[in-house]
Structure 1
């Protein structure tokens, strides 16, 4: 595609707020001429802010003008590759510090080429398209409640209050490679795009979002969406990116119709945990009034701006009590399984040894060959194996016994001790006038 074919441009605004409940912001966002992305970190004490920051810093490398004659397949490949690199970078951080093994992040990425978007999506952050007064959700949540909605078991409204609404089924965690949703969205002038974390879409329904997106500039809409989310009681961090699709050349004009005199942006914006925030009070009555809107931020090859390569900040975060992500198997799962198997084998062995010791204290009188014999063990068999063996053989033949006694001995007569068994044989012998001797 030549530069002349790029008929459209983006006018965008990004904002992130820590919210009224959380102490720290674990959302990260980036908006540039060719790229929009929102990542929502998961992990609490395991540093969800680090995961989202790292992912955004890798994804923002996509924000370059497309090459001439690029293809749709190449755009999709670029997005998939960037998500894979984010996965690899988080894996490096986990290798450096195993305490981060539970960290992960969502990622919603929109790569723009002048006519269309290549979308990549993992988790429950969302992308919307507002076109001709109609709102369309472009992405599909990878959550437990979404599966219930898809199966028709609950409604969208019920999902907002479901006790497991924050259970994510897919995330970028550096340990398990996740297949993202990848697709193309054609654009036209007049479209408005909105990317957000679940701090927005978790409390605002489609009707409210559409109302806010209906008027004003991108900057105005982004601020109003954050304000509306906080007023609706969002307990999460709130991050929103709004981008207007305009004819080429209009994005640089801050006074075009519909702009309402607000600030517009042609330079990249990095917000949330990925940025060193410039604090300013926007919302009266808000706990701190923090916002993540920034001055343009130059690129940084590292996973975190303002830190040397590989550095991990050591300021601890409070545990994130309300949010969970799929947990990758433990790095030493094989060892744990071996230990569990060893414990199980030990328990079985102790039980078997106890049972064997008890069995060796059991006796019964039976027949071995034609002779009355004292057996040690149990008068039964297990899977074809006798659980007893001859212990004291006598010279008393079973054929000399009375019919009743012979039938009883052939079936086996249990005795409480070896002495009792000998006394029983003596009584049998006395009844036939034979003296039994033990070999």
Structure 2
């Protein structure tokens, strides 16, 4: 490892703010380490999560190893595991989590680890640059080009974070290295400051005065800008190690030792002499632990809803099983109710080429028949007009059983009735012939007429009739329709 050529001159300050009743931020500043942790969870005690993370991470404040990023990743993971243990011991802490932004200094560069929406900034040669990227919903909108940075500050979901150290989800911190130079100024802050102060205002404050002045002014400016959150800032100057050894202010800072602020502090901030010294004599007055504004009218602390992917850790499988059973019960009840309704429905359709009444609905599901035959009429499809037969093939819905019977009766009236064959006529008897012996000859009066008998008119007609052919019976008409093209008439 290259021999250290730089040193840090640092200050840290945390304020509960003017609205919240407790401080869920934690901060730390030391010779090799700067940390900001913003607790999330509201009633789930985000202060415990943030202070736990800082207490784990502060162990890195020693001569760092060659691999800064590996050290940071391991410490963040240990903080994750410790929070999981606390939740396991006390289920009321379920849902707690914290952001983490940490800078580990090796004398020439810093390794940065970041999870959540606390931020890290670098002021170099008067230019301010943001080192970290927020893991928030609004940042995803910015990345997609849907909103601007300015719009994100007033977005209704601007506090919704997507990643945090929660003891449940695997930690996935952003990790990177940054080479430092004398004159650089580093700022780590919670969103209580970065959410209300834009880059221009941050650069203006950081570009003036000492690190002590900077942290005090950042807190005061955030309060004046209307911040409703806890505010925590850690500021560090990068100075030349050789020059710093002879600098009285740097020596004084070194005797102060590490600074632990916010929820991670062993005692309330107002009892600490170093915290008071940041405000006393400052032109803006003391902005120490102010009383929260009463009557905010918020029945639920929005901090409880801040961390989006928060999920229950305990008995997750049991909740899934209960939910699945409830869902299956609802589906079963709904299916039974639906099937019961179908069995109260009727329709008219075809069964074996005859008009029939069915109970149920004209649809089937795989493995389930939703209708059954109720009764069959004597009317065949072939006996109906084509338009009516087509309607029956498609199915005719009925309101109830009586309505279905009326439909069948109407269809019956349209059916063709088979014709009744006419009876064959009986043959008429022929006239009986009369013999000649039965006729008496009529003699003409004497006068020279012939003596041959002459038949009387009656005899001639009778004779003609006897010679006429006998009449034959006429053929009966044959029917042109027969079932199933027609319906036989009922007797």
TM range (shorter): 0.7 to 0.9
Residues 1:20 and 2:23 aligned together: no
Contact map agreement 2:270 2:289 (CA 8 A) in 1 = no
Residues 1:417 and 2:408 aligned together: no
Q: Secondary structure at the residue paired with 2:371?
A: strand
CA separation of 1:220 and 1:263: change in aligned 2, threshold 3 A: farther
1:321 aligns with: 302
Cα distance in 2, alignment partners of residues 327 and 409 from structure 1: 57
Q: Secondary structure at the residue paired with 2:302?
A: coil
Cα distance in 1, alignment partners of residues 322 and 168 from structure 2: 23
Residues 1:150 and 2:143 aligned together: yes
Cα distance, 1:78 vs. partner? 0.4
CA separation of 1:362 and 1:434: change in aligned 2, threshold 3 A: farther
CA RMSD of aligned residues (A): 3.5
- The counterpart of 1:44, out of the listed 16, 20, 42, is 42
**TM value normalised by structure 2:** 0.70
Q: Secondary structure at the residue paired with 2:14?
A: strand
C-alpha offsets along residues 141-186 of structure 1, whole Å, 9 cap, x if unaligned?
1122222333333333332222222111211111101311110010
Contact map agreement 1:102 1:327 (CA 8 A) in 2 = no
1:61 aligns with: 59
Gaps of 5+ in 2: 292-298, 418-486
Cα distance, 1:120 vs. partner? 0.4
Q: Mean alpha-carbon deviation: is it higher for 56-65 or for 374-383?
A: 374-383
Cα distance in 2, alignment partners of residues 214 and 145 from structure 1: 28
2:361 aligns with: 378
Residues 1:432 and 2:488 aligned together: yes
Contact map agreement 1:80 1:180 (CA 8 A) in 2 = yes
CA separation of 1:230 and 1:376: change in aligned 2, threshold 3 A: closer
Residues 1:85 and 2:61 aligned together: no
Cα distance in 2, alignment partners of residues 66 and 405 from structure 1: 93
Paired residues for 1:131-210 under 5 Å: 131-210=124-203
Greater gyration radius: 2
Residues 1:76 and 2:76 aligned together: no
CA separation of 1:22 and 1:285: change in aligned 2, threshold 3 A: same
Q: Secondary structure at the residue paired with 1:432?
A: coil
Cα distance in 2, alignment partners of residues 274 and 403 from structure 1: 92
1:268 aligns with: 258
Cα distance, 1:271 vs. partner? 0.8
2:433 aligns with: none
Cα distance in 2, alignment partners of residues 219 and 253 from structure 1: 20
**TM value normalised by structure 1:** 0.78
Residues 1:360 and 2:343 aligned together: yes
Gaps of 5+ in 1: 291-317
CA separation of 1:55 and 1:121: change in aligned 2, threshold 3 A: same
C-alpha offsets along residues 377-411 of structure 1, whole Å, 9 cap, x if unaligned?
335555697533334567x5749967689948964
2:325 aligns with: 342
Q: Secondary structure at the residue paired with 1:33?
A: coil
Contact map agreement 1:51 1:104 (CA 8 A) in 2 = yes
Cα distance in 1, alignment partners of residues 135 and 347 from structure 2: 67
CA separation of 1:284 and 1:58: change in aligned 2, threshold 3 A: same
Cα distance, 1:192 vs. partner? 1.6
CA separation of 1:49 and 1:369: change in aligned 2, threshold 3 A: same
Contact map agreement 1:42 1:324 (CA 8 A) in 2 = yes
Q: Number of aligned residue pairs: give it.
A: 397
Residues 1:102 and 2:95 aligned together: yes
Residues 1:277 and 2:274 aligned together: no
Contact map agreement 2:152 2:158 (CA 8 A) in 1 = yes
Cα distance in 2, alignment partners of residues 186 and 400 from structure 1: 95
Q: Secondary structure at the residue paired with 2:270?
A: coil
CA separation of 1:381 and 1:434: change in aligned 2, threshold 3 A: farther
Contact map agreement 1:218 1:264 (CA 8 A) in 2 = no
C-alpha offsets along residues 348-382 of structure 1, whole Å, 9 cap, x if unaligned?
33333233334334455665436665543335555
CA separation of 1:371 and 1:94: change in aligned 2, threshold 3 A: same
2:352 aligns with: 369
CA separation of 1:34 and 1:366: change in aligned 2, threshold 3 A: closer
Cα distance in 2, alignment partners of residues 366 and 60 from structure 1: 82
C-alpha offsets along residues 109-156 of structure 1, whole Å, 9 cap, x if unaligned?
100001000000111111111222222211111122222333333333
Cα distance in 2, alignment partners of residues 32 and 103 from structure 1: 26
Cα distance in 1, alignment partners of residues 88 and 40 from structure 2: 18
Cα distance in 2, alignment partners of residues 399 and 148 from structure 1: 66
